[in-house]
Structure 1
Amino acid sequence: MSPDASVDVDPVLDELYALPLEQFVVARNAASKRIKASGDAVGAERVARLAKPTVAAWVVNQVAREHPEEVAALVTLGDELRDATEDRDRARLTVLDRLRRERTEALVRVVRDAGEVAGRAVSASAVDRLAETLTAAVMDADAGAAVRTGRLGQALQHVGFGLVDEGGEPADVVELRAVGSPGGTGGQETGGKEARGGPGRAGGTRARSAARSRAGDSDDRGEGGADDALAAAEREVERAAAEVDRLEAARDAADGRAREASDAVGQAEDELGRIEDELARLADERDAVRARLEAARAEQDEAQEALDAADDALETAEERASAARKARRAARSRR
């Protein structure tokens, strides 16, 4: 069987992240199957691995869609702040920082005053996460590019050493730009640690580099026993690399379980929502039937009263008729 027509993944991603949050998992799974049927196994896997956004991330994504110009202005302001920092222009930095706070608060105020985004009520906590993420979009160029795409998996926060997600973990955010997106030329998705394979991969590279550096230092210090020092350093490199590989494998396994658990939670939430909707529908139907039953019982009571009255009237009429017949017979007998 020939595959279906090729599916462009990027518009699919935009559609997914624009959906109501409770529809994300079902739509993602359907999109993955559709893309796989088109013959794009890589694209299908890319979509299937997308984690359902947190509520705060979903709010940020919808704000980025509803207010693209305001978000773009904030990101541009971040570029200006970095230029002023490089130029050590303190006066300009003061002005730009004040403008950053004003623009961020103005956009957050719109959401706070509305009390909802895309028809979904927004909690005070989600509004706080929105403010933090918009600030991160100004302070970090990668975060700014990611926020503009509207495809975040978690809200972001800029702290002293960089970006962290809602769980306080370092956020490895990179914009994989979509065709036609601001400043981009290639395919894009973003969402925290998924963007570049997670911190475990980078950590493995850093660990190997550190081990090799220690090996080089030992070699420099041990000119009298260079061969022994080098051998010891090589063994240390091998041990460190093996440990990194083991931890990376464990991390990948844990990541897989976490994704499966996230999918299970999403499916359970969707099923619960469907059941709650059905219960609400049945409750409405029950109330309507109960009202009809009460009306029917009232009508039955009225009909019974009318029947009883008719029986009484009939009995009285029959008694009068019987008396009249007796009187007629008596009159005939006297003639």
Structure 2
Amino acid sequence: MAASTFDEIVADLYAASPGDFVAARTARAKDTADAATAAAVRELRKPSVAAWVVNVFARERAEQLGEALSLAAELREAQADLDAAALAKLGRERRALTRRLAQAAGQLAQSRGERVTTATLDAVEQTISAAFFDPDAAAAVASGRLLRALEPNASGDDVREAVAGEVPTLAPAAPRRADELSARRARREAERRVTAAEKELAAAERAVAKQDDVLRTLRARAEELDDDIADLEAQLAQLRREAERIAGELPGATERQEEAVASRDEAARDREAAQRALDAL
């Protein structure tokens, strides 16, 4: 049976019970034939509780963690093609997944009889979040050899200092076929066009509805004005007929008025003559 490598020894020790770390480290150093490796094992520092929780999860739930980290890598690649709304949705989904993984890691640690505080669980969540944002941090988390927790904005130096042994690299994901990538981009572009077209259609439908209201109002007013015009035209026709009747009667009335004036003048003269005759008696 081949001797365990230093990284394998570290992974075993960093997933063991924290209370047994010192004794386990001493025993593994004694059992290691290579002197340099044994010396390196004796110098190992005990991982923090949060790092230990992540190491246990990486060891016991390697498949679940690996799927999540693969998804995170795909999401990082896809971000360049996403709009603001899609990125916001992606951020919410990433945070929810990080929280679920951290809770699962905490439950696994508790099932081993260890107490996991809220502060420890927060540090676990921050470490997994770092793995989602950075491929080096993801490889460190997957290694199961974390010495301490990671921050989401951890630098390359931070990651190297947080791992015992060689800094690992994630196995590259199987490359996607060019036609598959093209199809995904084409689909995203088509979805964006559909969304834009739906927004334009909704705006156009609102404009049509508004113009329908305007048109109905104008037509109703036009009908009211047509009725008013018809009434006024009927009144005008009646007035014209009345004016024609008056115009026809005016000559006769004028003549009769003149005759009446003449009769009055004659009667006035007769009265004056009678008055003079009376005065003469």
Cα-to-partner distance string for 1:182-229 (whole Å, 9 max, x where unaligned): 629xxxxxxxxxxxxxxxxxxxxxxxxxxxxxxxxxxxxxxxxxxxxx
Query: Which of the numbers 173, 176, 191 marks the counterpart of 2:166?
Result: 176
Choose 1 or 2 for highest CA Rg: 2
Which residue does the alignment assign to 1:7?
A: 3
* Distance in 2 (alpha carbons) for counterparts of 1:114 and 1:130: 12
Pairs within 5 Å for 1:1-335:
7-9=3-5, 10-35=7-32, 38=33, 40-87=34-81, 90=84, 92-110=86-104, 116-159=110-153, 162-163=154-155, 170-172=158-160, 176=166, 183=171
- Compared CA separation, residues 71 and 114, structure 1 to 2 (3 A): closer
- How far apart are 1:114 and its partner, in Å? 7.4
Q: Is the 8 A contact 2:54 2:144 kept in 1?
A: yes
Structure 2 vs 1, CA of residues 92 and 13 (structure 1 numbering), >3 Å: closer, same or farther? same
Q: Partners of 2:89 and 2:100 in 1: how far apart?
A: 16
Amino acid at match of 1:96: L
Q: Could you tell me whether the CA contact under 8 Å between 2:51 and 2:146 is conserved in 1?
A: yes
Cα offsets for 1:266-303 (capped at 9, x unmatched):
xxxxxxxxxxxxxxxxxxxxxxxxxxxxxxxxxxxxxx
C-alpha distance in 2 between matches for 1:134 and 1:77: 13
More contact order relative to length (CA 8 Å, sep ≥ 6): 2
Q: CA deviation at 1:163?
A: 4.0
> Aligned partners of 1:115 and 1:41: how far apart in 2?
33
1:109: how far off? 3.2
Count, aligned residues: 169
Tell me how far apart the structure 2 counterparts of residues 127 and 100 of structure 1 sit (CA, whole Å).
17
Paired AA for residue 31 in structure 2: R
Take 2:97 and 2:50, find their aligned partners in 1: how far apart are those partners? 20
Q: For the residues of structure 2 that align with 1:148 and 1:113, how far apart are their CA atoms?
A: 18
* Contact in 2 for aligned 1:64/1:147 (Cα 8 Å): yes
Counterpart residue identity of residue 27, structure 2? A
TM-score norm. by structure 1 comes to: 0.44
Instruction: State percent identity of aligned pairs.
Output: 36
> Runs in 1 of length 4+ with deviation above 6 angstroms?
none
The answer to which structure has the higher helix fraction is 2
Deviation at 1:52, TM superposition (A): 0.5
Say which SS state the counterpart of residue 153 (structure 1) adopts.
coil
Say if 2:56 and 2:105, in contact at 8 Å, map to a contact too. Answer: no
Structure 2: gaps (5+ residues): 173-281
Distance 1:124 1:41 in 2: 41
Cα 1:85/1:49, change in 2 over 3 Å: farther
Query: Does the aligned pair in 2 maintain the 1:59–1:117 contact within 8 Å?
Result: no
Q: Which stretches in structure 1 are left out of the alignment for 5+ residues? A: 185-335
